[in-house]
Structure 1
């Protein structure tokens, strides 16, 4: 299991590294292209992509640090640093989306005809580069990778919008299409990122990451014939992937050491399918008062 998680962590780090260098390299191209085409829209997108690059770089560093072993001070290790990266990136993306809207909405009242040929060339390159980076990160399962993937999907949708607008504006004089499409895709991304941000905040507050899993764990513990009651059952997550479970189990009768070992083994087998990162089960004898009540 340890080797599997380490391999998964290495793949996540590799995917984020790809996304960082691709995004940073294309941001440089955007700044040059924006100056050559005299396009304020492309320059604005370049600034937004620069923010994305910084966020992805930060998440990449935090993800690497998250694989460090636990210490006496950080007894669960550094996995929650990856969650910090997910939170920071979500906040940056929400702020960036609001900033894009603040630029696009005024242009609805005063649309400007862009340089369509330059837009078309950069749009094709933007879709290819950001699309490949988004594809690399789409294989990830962590909250960190999911938030970063929304960064890149936002960029892909943005360049698709630029591509469509450039093609249409080569035929008709409708410059208002540019801000309209920008507002549409930005609102779409904003809604999804806010949903992910809420999930990240819930994990920070040690909320239950999976209500169905919580009830199934409770039922599996209560189903043991030696168990009279289950209380103080807590299920929370380190980073959205690695869950922690603790519970107090009141025994129906006093058990010998051999019987307790057999019950512990059976409980471990019952909990194995849930793939919990950490479990702490405390036995309480009949009539014994709970010290945490």
Structure 2
């Protein structure tokens, strides 16, 4: 696990430095070519750079063990970073779309050959960084890889648009590209923010079926029913689980231990870092006062 964290952190560090260097090149190139499309992508890349920087830091932070302040560990910090970066990107891209819309009414000439050169460089650098992260297993690496892939696709669009402008001098293509790239990114950022919101709202993991699990638990010898089955995800990868098993009156310690072991076996295929199992014998008062939507006998 430690080696995996170190490998992920190293990949994110390299991708962050590559992205940061290219953002500076991109800003200078956008001003040089007078291209709002390139400046739009520079803002997007700056957001990605912030995201990669936060992901790099949080990848290292998430390796910390639980302590008295964060008893479930530090994994959820990565979701906080994704939320912050997503909101920054949304605000920035809305501003850029507003500016590009103004250029639709008043198109300005751009230096298309310069845009073409920057597009080739952008495809090479962003594509290389995306390839570096493509084999990662952590959520941070996967999300960062998707952002960089978006960048590469955006630069392919700029490459095609600049080639067309070199032939036709139709400078409306530049703001149209800017709006198209921004809308594409806005859609994907909003989709990612939706997933982050589900994490903070303690939504059950998508593959989790509480009722199906309760039915399996009820088949365990000595278990009569289950209730208060709950689960939520810490960061989209590692989850928390708890349930109450109701067992027959007079059940002995060995049977209780065996039932708990079977629950752990049933959960082994899913990424649960924290599992809590409470056992109640028939006739005992349940410690949870208020039943919820998952409760069923």
Compute the TM-score of the two structures, normalised by the length of structure 1.
0.90
1:134 aligns with 2:136: no
> Contact 2:59 / 2:78 at 8 angstroms: preserved in 1?
yes
> Does the CA contact (< 8 Å) of 1:213 and 1:274 recur in 2?
no
Tell me what 1:49 maps to: 45
CA distance in 1, matches of 2:88, 2:37: 19
Q: Between Structure 1 and Structure 2, how many residues are aligned?
A: 289
Once the two structures are superposed, the pairs formed by residues 16-35 of structure 1 within 5 Å of their partners are 16-35=12-31
1:210 partnered with 2:180:
no
Inter-partner Cα distance in structure 1 for 2:129 and 2:158: 18
Q: Does 1:200 align with 2:196?
A: yes
Alignment match, 2:293 = none
Aligned partners of 1:248 and 1:283 also within 8 Å: yes
Q: 1:240 Cα shift? A: 0.6
1:193: Cα distance to partner?
Answer: 1.9
SS at match of 1:72: coil
> SS in structure 1 opposite 2:283?
coil
Encode CA deviations 1:64-90: one digit per residue, 9 max, x unaligned: 111111112211111111111121122
Answering whether residue 242 of structure 2 is matched by residue 246 of structure 1, we say yes
Question: Equivalences for 1:156-235 in 2 at 5 Å?
Answer: 156-210=152-206, 212-235=208-231
- Please say if residues 36 and 174 of structure 2, whose CA atoms lie closer than 8 Å, have aligned partners that are also in contact: no
CA–CA distance in structure 2, aligned partners of residues 35 and 197 of structure 1: 31
- Tell me which of 97, 104, 115 is aligned to 1:101: 97
Give unmatched runs, 5+ long, in structure 1.
none
Do structure 1's residue 66 and structure 2's residue 62 form an aligned pair? yes
Q: Give deviations 1:76-111, integer Å, cap 9, x for gaps.
A: 111111111121122222223223312222222222
C-alpha distance in structure 1 between counterparts of 2:29 and 2:119, whole Å: 11
Give the Cα separation in 2 of the matches to 1:81 and 1:268: 27
Query: Larger relative contact order (C-alpha < 8 A, sep ≥ 6)?
Result: 2
Q: 1:218-252: per-residue Cα shift (whole Å, max 9, x none)?
A: 23212213111111110101111001100011113
Larger fraction in helix: 1
CA RMSD of aligned residues (A): 2.1
Q: Is 1:15 matched up with 2:11? A: yes
Q: 1:87 to 1:211 in 2, by over 3 A?
A: same
Does 1:268 find its partner at 2:270?
Answer: no
Q: For 1:108 and 1:71, locate their aligned partners in 2 and report how far apart those are by CA, in whole Å.
A: 55
Q: SS at the partner of 2:268?
A: helix
Corresponding residue for residue 237 of structure 1: 233
- Conservation of the 8 A alpha-carbon contact between 1:238 and 1:244: yes
Q: CA 1:44/1:267 → structure 2, altered by over 3 Å: closer, same or farther?
A: closer
Contact 1:86 1:147 in 2 (8 A): no
Work out the CA distance in 1 between the residues paired with 2:36 and 2:188.
Answer: 27
Partner of 1:152: 148
Contact 2:221-2:259 within 8 A present in 1 as well: no
Return 5+ residue gaps in structure 2 as ranges: 290-297
Q: Secondary structure at the residue paired with 1:236?
A: strand
- Retained in 1: the 8 A contact 2:36–2:178? no
Partner of 1:122: 118
Indicate yes or no: 2:85 matched with 1:89: yes
